[in-house]
Amino acid sequence: MAGLAESGSNPDVDLLYDINGLAKDAPHWFDRVMEFTGEYGLLFAIVLLVLACWWTVRRRGGEDAATSVAALLWAPLAAGVAVLINVPIRGFVERPRPFKTHQGLEVLVDGKNDYSFVSDHATLVMAMAVGLFVANRKFGIAGIVLALLGGFCRVYMGVHYPTDVVGGFALGTAVALLLSPVAMALLTPVVRAVERSPRAGWLVSARGRSPYGNRDAVLPGARHEQRAADPEERDLAA
């Protein structure tokens, strides 16, 4: 299957030349920005989104904090699983990088000698973005937008066909969604156990959990001490 989409007379290759052609007309500094963004920047940005979502979830607390944190843990795990699944796919398809079979491309990154289909970068960023969407819709939509931009960058850089990127998006989405129920069933009890831990509970929720199962920013004993120290409140209670 090494000859997949190697002909220049198909929409995949035409779109490749159209998008990569933008690099030839762009300033050198812009190409360098796109190179960094497509290679490292967007993946780093999605990681920051996951961390920002975690910070928001733990500060808010609530009964669904453990479920949300478990979903956030699944996001990077889904990305890792998707890339592992992609290893045999790339070996089976054996599609060369576009610049090895097509002339005139502006290649912004050197050393890409492995196979092209499916794009690891597209798989990684979309799996994390969809996993983030499972945890939080707003953060997830932002992550999906970043993933789409990352796929565009990979074609712009001349290292992937558009269908490489689309395949990566499909693989990352499928892994993140289809395996999510199993992952959540395994991760949620672990996160709930961490939440109940006196030392590590802050990783899940900034608010404590009372022995009666209700979250509160003040522990029960501290509340009793506070009430006892307030003579006016004690008199009213009497």
Whether residue 20 is found in the same domain as residue 130: yes
Whether residue 102 is found in the same domain as residue 163: yes
Taking CA atoms, 214 is separated from 61, 62, 202, 205, 217, in Å, by: 11, 9, 15, 12, 10
| Count of the separate structural domains present in the chain | 2
CA gap 113, 208 in Å, rounded: 52
For position 207, what pLDDT does the model report? 61
The answer as to whether 2 is a domain residue is no
For position 212, what pLDDT does the model report? 39
Whether residue 119 is found in the same domain as residue 220: no
For position 147, what pLDDT does the model report? 93
What CATH number is attached to the domain comprising 74?
A: 1.20.144
The answer as to whether 202 is a domain residue is no
Per-residue pLDDT in tens (0 to 9) along the chain, 238 residues:
444 444 446 888 888 888 988 888 888 889 889 888 888 888 899 999 999 988 888 787 777 788 888 889 999 999 999 999 999 998 888 888 888 888 888 888 877 788 889 899 999 999 999 999 988 889 999 999 999 999 999 999 888 999 999 999 999 999 999 999 999 999 989 888 887 878 777 777 776 544 334 444 443 443 444 444 455 444 434 4
Q: Which residue intervals of 42-161 are DSSP H helices?
A: 42-60, 65-93, 98-101, 120-135, 137-156
Give the other-Cβ count within 10 Å of 68's Cβ.
23
Whether residue 112 is found in the same domain as residue 175: yes
Q: What is the DSSP pairing of strand 215-216 with strand 208-209?
A: antiparallel
For position 122, what pLDDT does the model report? 92
For position 63, what pLDDT does the model report? 74
Question: What amino acid is encoded at 177 in this protein?
Answer: L
For position 75, what pLDDT does the model report? 92
User: Residue 221: which domain range?
Assistant: 209-237
Whether residue 164 is found in the same domain as residue 133: yes
Owner of token pair 């004690």: 234
What's the angle, vertex CA 204, arms to CA 132 and CA 65, rounded to 5?
Answer: 60
For position 60, what pLDDT does the model report? 77
Taking CA atoms, 31 is separated from 39, 112, 167, in Å, by: 12, 17, 25
CA gap 24, 181 in Å, rounded: 45
Whether residue 113 is found in the same domain as residue 223: no
The answer as to whether 1 is a domain residue is no
For position 90, what pLDDT does the model report? 87
For position 125, what pLDDT does the model report? 93
SS3 209: strand
